[in-house]
Amino acid sequence: MAEMIVRRVGVLSIAKIEGFLMFIVGLIVGVLYGLAFMLFGMTAASFAARSDSQALNGVSAVVIGLLIMIGVPIFYGVMGFIGGAIGGLIYNVASGIVGGIKLELEGVQQYMPPAAPPQWNPNPYAT
């Protein structure tokens, strides 16, 4: 069993991964909230008093729902990037003070590249 200690992490690497993961979460949340806003906004507009602004209310609900679907993933991604960078910096400082995270790895083998393919022979029957 091999023991390794993670003493430092790449701050930008952590920030990129965290930003991407939060973008995916924001995409899911944004689509759900955007669809809900569209559905409930259009439903409320249909029950509103019959007037010329009824169609405008329904269209504005759709536009706001689309803006939510676009804005929430971007916001989550940016906040995830910033949070990942801050978390990486804090980890680097903390690991310098109290030590890093100890990992126990088992069954780690060296990579062996595959054997070279046989040389091509245009006429395999020639001697």
Q: Would you say residue 89 lies in a domain?
A: yes
Mean pLDDT taken over the chain = 85
Number of domains making up the chain? 1
Give me 126's structure tokens: 């020639």
Q: Would you say residue 116 lies in a domain?
A: no
DSSP codes, 74-121: HHHHHHHHHHHHHHHHHHHHHHHHH--EEEEE-S-----PPPPPPPP-
- Kindly report, residue by residue over 69-108, the tens digit of the pLDDT: 999 999 999 999 999 999 999 999 999 999 889 988 877 5
Q: Which residue segment(s) compose the domain that 53 sits in?
A: 9-105
Q: Would you say residue 81 lies in a domain?
A: yes
Q: How far is CA 113 from CA 105, 107, 116, 119, in A?
A: 22, 18, 9, 17
Residue 9 pLDDT level (bands cut at 50, 70, 90): very high
Q: Would you say residue 88 lies in a domain?
A: yes
Question: What's the confidence (pLDDT) of residue 55?
Answer: 58
Q: Would you say residue 115 lies in a domain?
A: no
Q: Would you say residue 4 lies in a domain?
A: no
pTM over 0.85: no
Q: Would you say residue 125 lies in a domain?
A: no
Instruction: Tell me: pLDDT of 45 over 70.
Output: no
Q: Would you say residue 3 lies in a domain?
A: no
Give me 87's structure tokens: 């978390």
